[in-house]
Amino acid sequence: MSDGHFVYTKVKSLEGKPKVFGGQCAGLVQWYTKVGKADTWREGIQVRGNASEIVSGTAVATFENGVYPNRSHGNHAALYISQDSQGIWVMDQWTSKPSISKRKMLFRGKNSDGSFVDPSNNGDALSVIIHE
């Protein structure tokens, strides 16, 4: 943990490695950090715009009302790498993805009802995982 964040400092070394812990997105952050079970995760600071407060390798996820929804789709967890004006670079996995790899989650904003557009692929939807 770094400043209350769960961090895997060798995040860039994961590129191309085999998926872990069943291939689910949450499994990646659970395997490489001590973040624990998803039902214990709480929402920390939003990732977008807070690059100076988030180190590479920090566990991040999408949240609803401060908790991780933990559904089979429509939510996501990953390891943060960096961000720019267009989106957030993460290291992630999911069951149909061939291996662990990095990708850019573009900023996609919110729907008219306030929910995030396509949260599993939306950099705006990511927050740091913390425990209370």
Model confidence pLDDT, tens digit, residues 29-42: 999 999 999 999 99
| Catalytic status, residue 73 | no
Q: What is the pLDDT of residue 69?
A: 92
The model carries a pTM of 0.95
What are the pLDDT digits (tens) for 47-100?
Answer: 999 999 999 999 999 999 999 998 888 899 999 999 999 999 999 999 999 999
* Residue 129 and residue 111 in contact, taking contact as beta carbons nearer than 8 Å: no
Q: Which residue has the tokens 């990953």?
A: 78
Q: Match 């989106």 to its residue by tokens.
A: 87
Q: Which domain holds residue 121?
A: 11-130
Cβ-contact 119, 62 below 8 angstroms:
yes
In a domain, 73, yes or no: yes
In a domain, 1, yes or no: no
| Residue 15 DSSP class | T
Distance separating alpha carbons of residues 61 and 13, to the nearest angstrom: 20
Length, in residues, of the chain: 132
Decide: 80 and 57 in contact? Cβ < 8 Å: yes
Residue 106 located in a structural domain: yes
| Structural domain count of the chain | 1
pLDDT of residue 90: 99
